[in-house]
């Protein structure tokens, strides 16, 4: 069966996010006020072929831990859904 | 009032995603099989101070159009929620 994993990888809350700070400054320079904080991370969509949902979830989790997220600086969350 | 905008910016489906292709190859090299396709985009969290939800939504939309997403190559979606 096919599954779609929507993975969000964000910098940990405790850490400074320089990319977000830069965008925050740029928004102000563009005249867009009212935005107080910006944090930028990655969004990754995996198409997984697996026999069941538990296997697909395990595959997504393993991918995050081994390659997609750096646990020292980032946290990740996985949302799994059945694919078309 | 405070609002949190969760914005996902993804490369358009019609376009090749070289970063995703590279990650897909790396996953296979790591011995993680069963992942057929990878697409990588950005996840952006904005903290918005606005009088009402419509204003916050408009601010997030404007930020995406002017700075966060490149409409030639990327599509974006905004999910707004009331902040703490």
CATH code at position A12: 3.30.1280.10
ipTM of the complex: 0.91
Residue A83 is predicted with a pLDDT of 79
> Does residue A84 surpass a pLDDT of 70?
no
Mutate to test the interface with B, among A4, A34, A56 (most CBs of B within 10 A): A34
Number of domains observed in the structure of chain A: 1
B50 — contact with chain A (CB < 8 Å)? Answer: yes
Mutate to test the interface with A, among B44, B66, B83, B84 (most CBs of A within 10 A): B44
DSSP state of B73: T
The pLDDT tens digits of the residues spanning A24-65 come to 999 999 999 999 999 999 999 999 999 999 999 999 999 999
Q: Both tokens of residue B24?
A: 């897909």
Residue B84 is predicted with a pLDDT of 67
Q: Using alpha carbons only, what angle is made at residue A69 by residues A64 and A71, rounded to the nearest 5 degrees?
A: 110
A72 — contact with chain B (CB < 8 Å)? Answer: no
CB contact under 8 A, A35 and B48: yes
Domain of residue A12: give its range: 2-82
Q: Which phi and psi (to 5°) does residue A34 adopt?
A: 100, -5
d(CA B29, CA A18): 31
CB A35 within 8 A of CB B63: yes
Residue in B18, B72, B68 with CA at minimum distance from that of residue B43: B68
Reduced to 3 states (helix: H, G, I; strand: E, B; else coil), residue A15 is coil
Residue in B70, B6, B18 with CA at minimum distance from that of residue B43: B6
């Amino acid at each position: 069966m096919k599954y779609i994993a929507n993975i969000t990888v964000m910098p940990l809350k405790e850490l400074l996010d320089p990319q977000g700070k830069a965008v925050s400054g740029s928004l102000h320079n563009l005249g867009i006020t009212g935005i107080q904080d910006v944090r930028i991370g990655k969004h990754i969509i995996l198409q997984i072929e697996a026999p069941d949902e538990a296997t697909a979830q395990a595959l997504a989790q393993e991918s995050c831990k081994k390659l997609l997220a750096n646990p020292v600086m980032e946290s990740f969350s996985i949302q799994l859904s059945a694919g078309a």
